[in-house]
Amino acid sequence: MNAHILVVDDDQEIRDLLDEYLTKSGYQVSTVKDGVELKAQLQHAYPDLILLDVMLPGDDGFTLCQQIRRDSDVPIIMLTAVSDDTDQIIGLEIGADDYIAKPFSPRHLIARIKAVLRRSQKNHQRTEDVLVNAVPKSIVFGDWRLDTLAHKLTHLDNQQQHDLSGSDFTLLMLFLSRPNEVLDRDTISVATRGREALPFERGIDVQLSRLRQRLGDSGKYPSYIKTMRGNGYILSVPVNYEH
């Protein structure tokens, strides 16, 4: 089945043009004008990719991107009329997969869509391959147990639980599969985003900070993920796999 693309833009002319061009390119297309219609659409089903305009009435694209990322790893390409590196960095930090400044050529847009969809499919395939290859049902590391099927963390002492988003689970599994090994930014970015890290990109730092806060620390394990300056990051606690 052809990939389903959801276009979110408050400009009727742009929605119509994108609908026409993407449909001719073989995609299934839906269009909405704002965050209210977007949320209503997502209650029924998630598309394969979202083209999300930054400047929208009500909640802007950045806010909507953050909200979507709480529940889903659906690929998101941000669209903006402002060619500003700061906006691009913000978009990538909050979980967007790519960023295109208006005006853009249709061919350029299609190329970016294909690249993002290809990366997304590869990431899903890697996850399926890992599951097929007998991933342990749970992994104990430090004070935590990870349920690899439910994507749930449970603290061994106080039984505190956390549900992990897809991106946070992928990041944690990367460290758990390679404990006591220094992982550089490109390795982390390829595993979680399907591409090497961009210059000055802080999205990895944001995601690592979120995971570190989730894991916390204790007297026995004062630091789960250590920063190795100039080299990368390392998971520095004992890891045991339970099949």
Mean pLDDT score, 45-72: 90
> Which pLDDT band holds residue 89 (cuts at 50, 70, 90)?
low
Q: 188 pLDDT exceeds 70?
A: yes
Q: 201 pLDDT exceeds 90?
A: no
- Between 149 and 166, where is the model more confident? 149
Copy the structure tokens of residue 127.
């996850």
> Which pLDDT band holds residue 131 (cuts at 50, 70, 90)?
very low
- Between 66 and 167, where is the model more confident? 66
> Which pLDDT band holds residue 113 (cuts at 50, 70, 90)?
very high
Q: pTM (2 decimals)?
A: 0.57
User: What integer pLDDT is reported at residue 94 of this predicted model?
Assistant: 75
Q: Write the secondary structure of the chain as one string of H (helix), E (strand) and C (coil).
A: CCCEEEEECCCHHHHHHHHHHHHHCCCEEEEECCHHHHHHHHHHCCCCEEEEECCCCCCCHHHHHHHHHCCCCCCEEEEECCCCHHHHHHHHHCCCCEEEECCCCHHHHHHHHHHHHHHHHHHHHHHHHHHHCCCCCEEEECCEEEECCCCEEEECCCCCEEECCHHHHHHHHHHHHCCCCCECHHHHHHHHHCCCCCCCCCHHHHHHHHHHHHHCCCCCCCCCEEEECCCEEEECCCEEEEC
For the chain, domains (ranges, CATH) are 4-130 (3.40.50.2300), 134-242 (1.10.10.10)
